[in-house]
Amino acid sequence: MGVQGLASFLENHRRIHREVQFRRSRLVIDGCNLNYLLYFSSGLDENHGEEYAAFERLVESFISALRSCDISPYVVLDGASDVSDKKDETLARRSEERVQKASQAATSSRPMHVLPQLAKLVFRQTLVRLEVPVAQCFAESDQEIAALASEWKCPVLSNDSDFFIFDLPAGFLPISHFCWKEVKRSGSQNFISCRRFYTSSFCIFFGIQRQLLPTFAALAGNDYVKLREIRWTQFVPEDQGKPHRLEGLLRWLQDFQQPQDALEAALGLMGDLSTKTREELLQKLHQGMEGYELCPSSLSRFFLHGVPPELSVGLVPLWMLLPLTQARLTADVLDVLHLHTMTGLSPVVEPEELRSSNQISRRIRQVMYGLLLCNTESLQVREIDRDGLKLRSIPVSPMFTRTSKRFKLSSLNQVMALFNLKVLFIIRSTSGVPQRSSWTSCSRRTALIVCRFYWRAEPPPDPSLLKALLQGISSGPDLSVCVAGLQRADRSCTQKLDINVVYSFNQWQVCLKNSIWLNQLLGFPLPEPDIARLFEGTLVHQLVHNMRTGGKPKTLMKSDRTSKEQYRTMLSILHQVQAQQAGVGSENREKASTRKQEQQEPLKEPPLNLQQLFLLHHHEETDPEAHIDVQTLEELQLEEQLSVRTRFKTKDRSNRCNKVQTDPEEGLQGAGHNLTGVGPPN
C-alpha cells in the first residue's frame, strides 16, 4: 500500500511531528521496508553480486543500537500476494518498473536500487541468529503491523506512508528520521533521536475529522484506486504559492463529517458518470478505505506464546502454519497453493537481451510445485517472469516423481519425520556428493549440490567463475577479510561491471535461493546455508578479475590451511561428479571419457543417487538415525537403493584405504567445462 506523495508532502509540515528521545519500549518494525532501506541507504554494492556480509553487519549494528536503548524489536514481514485482484494493476506496474531499473543498472553500471535476490534471506537469517522475534504474515503486513502496535500501544517503525493514516495510539516513527547510528545518552539511559507522528496532530493541523483519514487516503490515490480526473489543486487559495494536490484535497475535506458524504461528493466532481461506472468507482474507493480498518491482532499470540495465526483457506495444511509464520518457509508457497502462481521471481541486474536468470532453476521449482500440488497433474503454475523488458505469465508444469506421487502435502511432514528420509525429494532435482571427513561445513555441502544446476547455465560458466565461486565458498566467515586482502593485493582491480560475470553469478544465486525454498518445504533435510558466509559478490568478482589478468590471489587463504583444503576438496568432488555425468552421447565419447577418468580419477564411484545424498548429511558410522528400515524402503519402491548404498560404502572405504587422491588441479572435465587452465590459490 502507500499514499502517493504523502511522505514528501508532510516533510514541508514538520510541525505535525514531535521530536522525541525514544527508549525503553517495544517497537513493531515493518521488516520488508527496513530491509530495503538499510541496504539502499548504506552505499552497499548493488550490481556486482552484492555485499551480503557487510549487510549482515549492518543489520547487527541496527539491532545492537535498539537494544542499547532498551528497545525491544518485533519484526513483521510481508507474506503472499493479495488473493483478490484489487491491486493487480499496481503490482504489475511496480514489477515492470523494477525490470526497467534492473536493465538500466546492467547497461549503465549505476545503482538503480534493485534489491539483491538473497538480501531478504540474509536479513531474516541475521535476525533469527540475533534472537529477534520475527513473524511472516500470510498476506500483506501493513494491517497486521498496525493491529499489533495498536494492541500493544507501542509505535511502528517504517517509511510506508500508509502508517500516517492508521490510527496508532503510540504513533508512527518514520525510518528516515530514526537516528539509530547516533545513539545518545541522557543521565543513565541511552536513547535514539527520532520524529513521532500522531494522526491526532495531523487532523488538528489540517482541520479534518479523524474518521476521514481513510477517505483522504483513498481519494488521494493508493494502491487500490486512482482518481486522476479530479484536479484537487483548485481548492488551494491562490495566495498559498505553488499549490499541492494533497493540500487542496485536505482543504476540500474540511467541509465533511462522514466518509460516505465525502465519497459521494467526490464522484460528483467527476461530472456525469454512468450508473455502472459510479458503482465501480465507489466500490474501489471503499476497498481503498478497508485497508485501514484495524482488526484484533493475529500476531500477538504468536510473539508471546508461539501460536501461529489461523488461515481460513483450507488449501494450506496445519503443519505449514508455524514455519510460515516463523519465516522458515517462503510465503511464495501460498501463492502457488491459492493462485497457482509464482510471483517471487524478482528481477535482477541483467541486460534485456539475455533470458531471465530464473529459467536455469526452473526444475527445482517444478519439484516444489509437484510437492505442493500433489497429484493434480493437470494443473500448471503461472510463473511471472521477465521476457525482455516485459513481464510474462509462463505456464510451468509441476514435476512429479514416482515417490512424490505417493504422498499428500497434508502429511508430508509426518512422512519425513517418521521415516527420516531427509533427502527423499531433493535427489530428484539435484545431484548429491559423497561424504568427506575433511569437509565439515553443511553450507558448503549445500553449495556443491546447487552447483549441479549452475553447470547448466547459459552460457556455461568458464573456469575462472567456477574457481572464484569455490574459493569464495571456502573462505567462510572470513569473506570480508578476503575482500579487503584482494583490494590491497590488486589495487588496479577495476570495479567496471562485467555483465557476463554478473549474469553468471545471478544464475548461481537463483539456484541457491530456489534450493533453499525446496529445502524449507522438505523440513530442512540439510541445514540452511548461512548466505553471508557462503557468497560475497564483490569477492568473487575480484577473484575472477584477478585470475583472468594472470594474477594469483596470494592473500586469499594463504594462512588458512583449512580453507585451502576445503577448496581443493570441493574442486576434486566437482571433478568427479562432472566426469561421471560427462559419459553421455556416443559410444566413442563414453569410452574416451572412461579412459580419461581412469587416468585422472582412480576414485570411481557408482552413479549419484538417493543413498549418496543421504550419506552426505548422515554418516552411518556416527549417526544412528541414518539407518532406514528395509520395509520402509520397499513401501517407497526404493528397495533397489539398498544394494547401491552398500556398494557405495564398501567402495568408498576401499578407496580411502588405498590413499589414492584425485588431483584437484585437473579441474572439471566434460560438458564444456575445463578448469585445467587456472591454478589453485597458492
If you write DSSP's letter for every residue of 657-676 in order, what string do you get? HHT----GGG---STT---T
Pair 183, 69: CB distance under 8 Å = yes
The pLDDT tens digits for 457-474 are 777 778 788 888 888 888
Task: Give the residue from 208, 229, 204 showing the smallest Cα distance to 219.
Answer: 229
Cβ atoms < 10 Å from Cβ of 91: 16
What DSSP string runs through 218-251?
Answer: HHH--SS---TT--GGGGS-GGGSS--HHHHHHH
- Identify the band that residue 608 occupies on the pLDDT scale cut at 50, 70 and 90: very low
The secondary structure of residue 178, as a DSSP letter, is -
For 426-542, list the strands marked E by DSSP: none
Convert the pLDDT of each residue in 357-399 to its tens digit: 999 999 889 989 998 988 676 789 999 999 999 999 999 999 8
DSSP 3-state of 22: strand
- On the question of pLDDT at 22 being above 80, the answer is yes
Out of 19-28, 280-289, 443-452, 642-651, least confident range: 642-651
Spatial distance between the Cα atoms of 430 and 449, rounded to a whole number of angstroms = 6
**What is 285-309 written as a DSSP string?**
HHHHHHTT-----SSHHHHHH-PPP
How far is Cα 340 from Cα 395, in angstroms, rounded to an integer? 10
CB 626 within 8 A of CB 619: yes
Strand partners, 194: 20
pLDDT of residue 568: 82
Q: Tell me the per-residue pLDDT of 80-123, one tens digit each, with 9 for 90 and over.
A: 876 555 566 667 778 888 999 999 999 888 889 999 999 999 99
Residues of the chain with CATH 3.40.50.1010: 17-204
Q: Is the pLDDT of residue 285 over 80?
A: yes
Interval 160-171: pLDDT, tens: 999 999 999 999
Cα dihedral 39, 41, 45, 46 sign: positive
Mean pLDDT is lowest, of 122-126, 573-577, 620-624, 641-645, for 620-624
The mean pLDDT value for 596-605 works out to 39
In 109-227, which ranges are continuous DSSP H helix? 119-129, 142-152, 199-206, 213-220
- With CA atoms as reference, report the closest residue to 613 among 626, 624, 602, 629: 626
Higher local confidence (pLDDT), 665 or 246: 246
Separation CA 590–CA 195 (nearest Å): 70
Written as nine digits, the cell of 437 is 571427513
Give CA separation, 588 vs 5, 64, 579, 596, 679, in Å: 68, 63, 15, 12, 30
Residue 557 φ/ψ region, left for φ over 0, alpha for ψ in the -120 to 50 degree band, beta for the rest = left
Model confidence pLDDT, tens digit, residues 291-334 = 899 999 999 999 999 999 998 767 899 999 999 999 999 999 99
pLDDT of residue 25: 98
Residue type present at position 426: I
Longest dimension (CA), the chain: 93
| Type of residue at 585 | G
pLDDT tens digit sequence for 403-450? 677 778 888 887 766 554 444 444 434 433 444 433 345 566 667 667
Cell of 310: 489461523
Residue 77 near residue 32, CB atoms below 8 Å: yes
Structure-block grid coordinates of residue 380: 500448471
Share of the chain above pLDDT 90, in %: 45
Place of cell 465519497: 263
Residue type, 262: A
Sequence letter at residue 243? P
In the structure, what pLDDT confidence band is assigned to residue 147 with cuts at 50, 70 and 90?
very high
User: What span, in angstroms and rounded, lies between the C-alpha atoms of 202 and 529?
Assistant: 46
Provide the pLDDT for residue 478: 57
What is the model's pLDDT at position 442? Answer: 59
CA angle in degrees (0–180, nearest 5) for 427-430-436: 80
* More confident site: 198 or 561: 198
pLDDT of 496 > 60? The answer is yes
Residue 637 — left, alpha, or beta (φ > 0 → left; ψ -120 to 50 → alpha)? Answer: left
Closest to 22 in 3D by CA, of 202, 163, 148, 183: 183
Q: How far apart are CA 148 and CA 588, in angstroms?
A: 68
Q: Which three cell numbers stand for residue 630?
A: 528395509
Give the pLDDT band of residue 677 (cuts 50, 70, 90): very low
Please give the pLDDT value at position 671: 37
Q: 196 pLDDT exceeds 60?
A: yes
Burial of 8 (0-12, 13-18, 19+ CB in 10 A): exposed
Which stretch of 257-266, 422-431, 450-459 has the lowest confidence by average pLDDT? 422-431
Lowest mean pLDDT among 145-159, 467-481, 529-543, 550-564: 550-564
CA–CA distance, 627 with 610 (Å, rounded to integer): 13
pLDDT of residue 614: 33
Separation in Å, CA 281 to CA 2, 417, 561? 19, 52, 68
Q: What is the 3-state secondary structure (H, E, C) of 196-223?
A: EECHHHHHHHHCCCHHHHHHHHHHHCCC
Cβ proximity of 49 and 117 under 8 Å = no
Average pLDDT, the chain: 78
pLDDT the model gives residue 611 = 34
Bridge partners, 22 (sequence order): 192
CA 227, 233, 238: angle at the middle one, nearest 5? 170
pLDDT score of 148? 98
Q: What is the pLDDT of residue 450?
A: 72
pLDDT over 70, % of the chain: 71
Whole-angstrom distance, CA of residue 60 vs CA of residue 593? 50
For 17-204, give the CATH class: alpha beta
**Do the beta carbons of residue 39 and residue 115 sit within 8 Å?**
yes
CA dist 537 and 38 (Å) reads 18
Name the DSSP letter for residue 398.
Answer: -
**pLDDT > 70? residue 79:** yes
Residue 71's DSSP bridge partners are 25
